[in-house]
Chains A and B, each alone.
Chain A
Amino acid sequence: MKQALAVSGMEALVALALIISPCLAVAQTANKSATKDVAKDVTKTAKKAAKPASANKVVADQAEEKDEVTKDFEKFRAVMEDSNPAELFEVQGEEFWKIKRGPNNVALAETCDLGLGVGVVKGAYVQMPRYFTDADKVMDAERRIVWCMVNKQGFKEADIAKKPFANEGYTPEATSLVTYVAAESRGMPFAVPMTEPHVQDIYELGKEVSNYRAGPYDFSCNTCHGSDGKRIRMQNLPNIASKKGATVAVMGWPGYRLTGNRMLTHQWRMNDCFRQQRFPEPKYLSDTVTSLLTYMTANANGAIYRGPGIKR
């Protein structure tokens, strides 16, 4: 089934499918002209089409029902956020950060600089991606943490890259570390240092990458995420070029996904977007992914980060 979904399939509200039956009814009312540019599953918001409700009462009823169900879901999502299992990974990540590990038997807390000085975690996440002179690269949080694990603790990058993302019953150490580091920026505004020339360059690259069309569907990121008011089925698709949309896109990562009980990073999300576009997946910790993360996060600069999220 995943294969049949063009965009953001993992995010689709499966539960709604049966309630609002047939599940595509609302989407089909959307502006048909929009489907030329974008894939058939990506449609303009149903708002416009729902306006002549008197002409199509069924659609209007469905829309109302959706609203109540959505409200109920949102209420319980708030309950979920109150005790997010992501916190378990924060605790685990904090241990990984503080104890001596790896062939070199050193702690990241005493060797790793996340941009604000060795061992400083508070506020580091919201100020990444940033340029690191020691690595001569712009790095996002996950990339930097793995760099430290490799260059300070002596782990092998190839080993880490073998299973970079969580699977059922398995969570990479780097993922727990990212979750801890991210949690330490909870309540702080995103502040990617856009005055730094390397960051500016990779931001521009990210902008280009987001617009790069390829693959069997001739998709780019922007096909779905480059303008306002698009959605797939019941899911709104944030426009990452805008501050509002970029904020939606970066908020809640890393996130605990209830389906499969996995703790997943923003790096994972980017890779999965490529998969959903039917692109070859980027190699772990690539410039491509960092460029997209830079583009999106910098576009969200100023928004307050709420910490690791919870996803359906």
Chain B
Amino acid sequence: MASPMKIRAQLKGDIAEIKILMAHPMETGQRKDPKTNQFFPAHFIQHFSVELGGKVVVQSQVGASVSTNPVFGFKVKGAKAGDKVVVKWQDNKGESRTDEAAVA
């Protein structure tokens, strides 16, 4: 079950500084469960996109070596207060999550 993201978008001049925290285990598939001696199955975000004011500004491909509960920061020019930031991610199991925030 995907938990909500936390998105912050702050305007500095005409640049939006966007910080995104995603709740995800980012399991590499290379770690053994000490109890069962089996590998935890890989489970990680593979894609995400960031939209600002209705336009895609960042597209990303992600591997399992991004840290658990990923954190990303971006800067986008030409932003203004109130612009909507929409972030979508999708993982290798097909789970996805979309959250949004406004530039403040």
Chain A residues with a Cβ under 8 A of chain B: 82-83, 85, 87-88, 90-92, 95, 169, 261
Query: Majority SS of interface residues in chain B?
Result: loop
Chain B residues with a Cβ under 8 A of chain A: 3-6, 19, 21-23, 25, 68-69, 71, 73
- In the complex with contacts A83-B19, A83-B21, A83-B73, A88-B6 CB distance below 8 A: yes
Inter-chain contact A88/B25, CB cutoff 8 Å: no
Candidates A82, A90, A95, A261; contact of B69 at CB < 8 Å: A261
Inter-chain contact A85/B21, CB cutoff 8 Å: yes
Inter-chain contact B6/A87, CB cutoff 8 Å: yes
Given contacts A88-B4, A92-B4, 20 further A-B contacts (CB under 8 A): A83-B19, A83-B21, A85-B71, A87-B6, A87-B21, A88-B3, A88-B6, A88-B21, A88-B22, A88-B23, A88-B69, A90-B6, A91-B3, A91-B4, A92-B23, A95-B4, A169-B25, A261-B25, A261-B68, A261-B69
State how many angstroms separate the Cβ of B85 from the closest Cβ of chain A.
15
Report the Cα distance A90→B4, complex, angstroms: 10
The residue on A at minimum CB distance from B4 is A91
Inter-chain contact B3/A83, CB cutoff 8 Å: no
> 9 tightest CB-CB pairs across the interface, nearest first?
A85-B69, A261-B68, A87-B6, A83-B71, A88-B23, A91-B4, A91-B6, A83-B19, A88-B21
Interface contacts (Cβ under 8 Å), in number, total 32
Report the Cα distance A14→B6, complex, angstroms: 30
The residue on A at minimum CB distance from B20 is A83
Report the Cα distance A175→B104, complex, angstroms: 29
A169 cross-chain contacts in B, Cβ below 8 A: 25
B71 cross-chain contacts in A, Cβ below 8 A: 83, 85
Which of B6, B23, B73 has the largest count of A CB atoms less than 10 A from its CB?
Answer: B6
The residue on B at minimum CB distance from A94 is B4
The residue on A at minimum CB distance from B23 is A88
State how many angstroms separate the Cβ of B3 from the closest Cβ of chain A.
6
Report the Cα distance A154→B5, complex, angstroms: 29
Report the Cα distance A82→B19, complex, angstroms: 9
Report the Cα distance A87→B71, complex, angstroms: 11
Which of A82, A91, A92, A169 has the largest count of B CB atoms less than 10 A from its CB?
Answer: A91
A261 cross-chain contacts in B, Cβ below 8 A: 25, 68-69
Report the Cα distance A261→B3, complex, angstroms: 15
A92 cross-chain contacts in B, Cβ below 8 A: 3-4, 23
The residue on A at minimum CB distance from B6 is A87
The residue on B at minimum CB distance from A82 is B19
Q: List 25 A-B contacts (CB under 8 A).
A: A82-B19, A83-B21, A83-B71, A83-B73, A85-B21, A85-B69, A85-B71, A87-B6, A87-B21, A88-B3, A88-B4, A88-B5, A88-B6, A88-B21, A88-B22, A88-B23, A88-B69, A90-B6, A91-B3, A91-B4, A91-B5, A92-B4, A95-B4, A261-B68, A261-B69
A88 cross-chain contacts in B, Cβ below 8 A: 3-6, 21-23, 69
Which of B4, B5, B71, B73 has the largest count of A CB atoms less than 10 A from its CB?
Answer: B71
Report the Cα distance A95→B69, complex, angstroms: 18
B68 cross-chain contacts in A, Cβ below 8 A: 261
State how many angstroms separate the Cβ of B24 from the closest Cβ of chain A.
10
A85 cross-chain contacts in B, Cβ below 8 A: 21, 23, 69, 71
Report the Cα distance A294→B71, complex, angstroms: 34
Report the Cα distance A261→B67, complex, angstroms: 9
The residue on A at minimum CB distance from B27 is A169
B21 cross-chain contacts in A, Cβ below 8 A: 83, 85, 87-88
State how many angstroms separate the Cβ of B22 from the closest Cβ of chain A.
8
Report the Cα distance A175→B30, complex, angstroms: 29
